[in-house]
Each structure stands twice: as structure tokens, then as C-alpha cells.
């Protein structure tokens, strides 16, 4: 279908969760989903910021239905509590795994002692996905669930080879690229596994392009004079964070999306289109996906309840 991010399909009756929903891309993804009639569960570590975001959404969409779940991606114990709350929802059609802190210090760690980037952007989401899948029992097992993983264009640009999640420890932007490479490896392997198991789960990867404060619309408490302004050298060519949210929203809401696909702007800004996945993450070679999967499970202290397919991993499915 032709996708127009300013004219979303009617999402009335659908329920979506968005992590990192109290600012930036996560906030605007939630606002856009709510504008199309969806109920949006705002996920953040701060209940106070969730309240601010909910009020900002209602300022744009007076009839918006929002819920809230507060947990911290830097704590696996907190993630477990968040899983319980999300699993208790009467309905959940999809989740946008967008959240995560941006601390590039080599010494920064999660509350569990993991490198901050790997722990919060990859390991925490593995624990979250494992819990949501494990909670699907009875009639819920037949209900579709779409899992959207937020990556970055730097994964394709730098093509960092990651052979084992347990060995991934870098500083600065390199740590972020490693974490998002792990995200893609896990997302595509999840697609292969749920497809082989015949589960109604869709695993999709997105990249936002570059979203900058200078081009982001004003929202009270989200983007205004009370919120620190971040300069970005890409501003002349970039887009606002509202447009950077388009890829995640399409991956959640487009009925034609299938598992293993990759969405984002063609360059650093623009409409969200289906892109070719990176071969080093979608088809990483013999045993790499299984090794990374096992390493992420070990770091998260969970087992994702989806068995590995019997055949060797091949390229992610795409049309």
C-alpha cells in the first residue's frame, strides 16, 4: 500500500506500547498512534514524565486514550516488573522498543553491571521480549503481536561485526553501534524462530534517520524552553523528531508489514520505506545468530521461549 505518515489507517481498538515515550521519537510515535485512534501505553522510568507526555498528547489529540507503565531499562529487576504490567493488559497489539539512555562513557553501566549501551538498548529488550512471549497463554497465544526494534543507520554505515554479545564492550559511539548491531541480530533471529514455530509474532527493524531538536515541533514539557536544546551538525539536512518517528509508526501500524523487514528513510530524512536489511545482521553466517542469541539470553538471565529452527539461518524474509 502507499503509506502516508500524515494519514494513518484507523487504529481504533488497537493497543500499542512505546518505550521511551516521554520525549523525542518515542513521544511523537505515541502521539501519532493516538491521533489515529489507538490506545497508547506510555512506557518510561519516570511516572512524572509519563504524566507530562500524556497531557501533551491530549493537547494535540483531546480524545486520546493513554495508559502508563513505569520501569527502568537499566535494571533487569525493573524490566521484569514492567513485563508483568504489560502482560496484564487486556490487549497488546504491538510494542515499539524505542527507549534507552544515551550515555557514552566507558565507565557507564546498568544497575546490573552491564555496559550501559549493551545493557539498556539490547539486553533489557531481550528480557522484555522474552517476558511478553512467555506471558502469552491460552487464547492470547493466537493473538498477533508486532515487535518493532529501533536501530540506527550507523549499523549499515559502519558494519561492525559482532560475534558474541558477551564480548561486546566499547566506549563512545562505538558502544552504541555495537548495541544496535546486537538489536538487529536478535530481531532477525527472532523473526526466523517465530516463523519456523508458526507463532503469530512479527519482528521488524526500523531506523529513524536523523531527528534534531531544531526542526521538532513544540510540545509542552517535551520540546519547549524548559527542555535542554541539543545542537546537531546534521541539522541542515535532517528532520524533526516527529518525522523521525514515522518509521516506527509504520512498522507498528502498516497492515502490509511482515516479519524480517526493515523500514526507514532512504537517507537521513524522508518518508519511511522498506529498505534492504544489512547482510551482516540479517544473514550473519553460520552459528553467529545462535551465539549472539545465547549470549543475550545469558546477560538478560532469561530464555526466550522460541526454539531455534532446525535449518541453518538464512537471509531474513523479505518480499
DSSP letter string, 208-274: ---B-GGGSPPBTTTBSTTS-----TTGGG-B-HHHHTHHHHHHHH-TT--TT-EEE-SSSSS--EE
**216's grid cell:** 521538532
- How far apart, in Å, are the Cα atoms of 155 and each of 123, 267, 298? 17, 13, 23
The pairing of strands 273-275 and 262-264 is antiparallel
| The predicted structure's pLDDT at residue 319 | 43
- Coil vs helix vs strand at 64: coil
| The predicted structure's pLDDT at residue 141 | 77
- How far apart, in Å, are the Cα atoms of 282 and each of 89, 127, 204, 217, 239? 32, 21, 11, 35, 27
CB-neighbour burial class of residue 305 (10 A; exposed 0-12, middle 13-18, buried 19+): middle
Task: From 201, 64, 224, 76, select the one nearest 140 (Cα to Cα).
Answer: 201
**130's grid cell:** 522474552
Record the pTM. 0.94
CB-neighbour burial class of residue 255 (10 A; exposed 0-12, middle 13-18, buried 19+): exposed
Please, what are the averages of pLDDT over each run of 10 residues along the chain (319 residues)? Answer: 91 98 98 98 97 98 98 98 96 96 83 95 98 84 93 93 83 90 98 96 97 97 92 94 98 97 96 96 91 97 91 49
**252's grid cell:** 507498528
| The predicted structure's pLDDT at residue 296 | 98
Please say whether the beta carbons of 160 and 284 come within 8 A. Answer: no
If you classify domain 15-300 with CATH, what class do you get?
alpha beta
Please provide residue 241's backbone torsions phi and psi, each rounded to the nearest 5 degrees: -70, -15
Could you read off the pLDDT of 178-235 as tens digits, one per residue? 999 999 999 999 999 999 999 999 999 999 999 999 999 999 999 999 999 989 998 9
Amino acid at each position: 500500500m502507499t503509506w502516508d505518515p500524515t494519514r494513518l489507517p484507523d487504529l481504533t481498538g488497537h493497543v500499542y506500547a512505546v518505550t521511551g515515550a516521554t520525549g523525542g521519537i518515542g513521544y511523537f510515535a505515541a502521539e501519532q498512534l493516538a491521533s489515529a485512534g489507538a490506545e497508547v501505553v506510555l512506557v518510561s522510568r519516570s511516572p512524572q514524565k509519563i504524566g507530562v507526555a500524556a497531557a501533551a498528547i491530549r493537547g494535540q489529540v483531546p480524545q486520546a486514550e493513554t495508559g502508563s507503565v513505569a520501569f527502568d531499562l537499566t535494571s533487569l529487576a525493573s524490566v521484569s516488573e514492567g513485563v508483568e504490567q504489560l502482560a496484564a493488559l487486556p490487549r497488546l497489539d504491538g510494542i515499539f522498543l524505542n527507549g534507552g539512555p544515551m550515555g557514552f562513557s566507558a565507565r557507564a553501566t546498568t544497575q546490573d553491571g552491564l555496559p550501559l549501551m549493551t545493557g539498556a538498548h539490547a539486553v533489557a529488550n531481550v528480557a522484555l521480549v522474552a517476558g511478553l512471549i512467555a506471558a502469552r497463554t491460552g487464547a492470547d497465544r493466537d493473538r498477533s503481536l508486532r515487535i518493532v526494534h529501533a536501530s540506527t543507520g550507523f549499523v549499515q554505515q559502519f558494519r561492525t561485526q559482532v560475534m558474541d554479545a558477551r564480548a561486546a564492550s566499547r566506549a563512545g559511539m562505538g558502544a552504541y553501534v555495537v548495541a544496535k548491531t546486537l538489536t538487529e541480530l536478535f530481531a532477525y533471529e527472532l523473526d526466523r524462530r517465530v516463523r519456523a514455530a508458526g507463532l503469530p509474532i512479527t519482528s521488524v527493524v526500523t531506523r529513524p534517520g536523523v531527528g534534531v531538536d531544531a526542526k521538532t515541533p513544540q510540545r509542552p514539557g517535551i520540546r519547549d524552553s524548559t527542555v535542554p536544546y541539543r545542537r546537531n551538525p546534521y541539522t541542515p539536512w535532517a528532520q524533526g523528531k516527529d518525522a523521525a518517528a514515522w518509521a516506527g509508526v509504520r512498522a507498528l501500524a502498516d497492515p502490509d508489514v511482515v516479519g524480517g523487514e526493515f523500514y526507514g528513510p532512504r537517507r537521513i530524512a524522508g518518508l519511511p520505506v522498506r529498505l534492504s536489511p544489512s547482510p551482516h545482521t540479517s544473514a550473519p553466517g553460520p552459528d553467529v545468530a545462535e551465539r549472539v542469541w545465547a549470549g543475550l539470553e545469558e546477560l538478560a538471565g532469561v530464555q526466550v521461549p522460541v526454539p531455534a529452527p532446525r535449518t541453518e539461518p538464512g537471509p531474513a524474509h523479505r518480499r
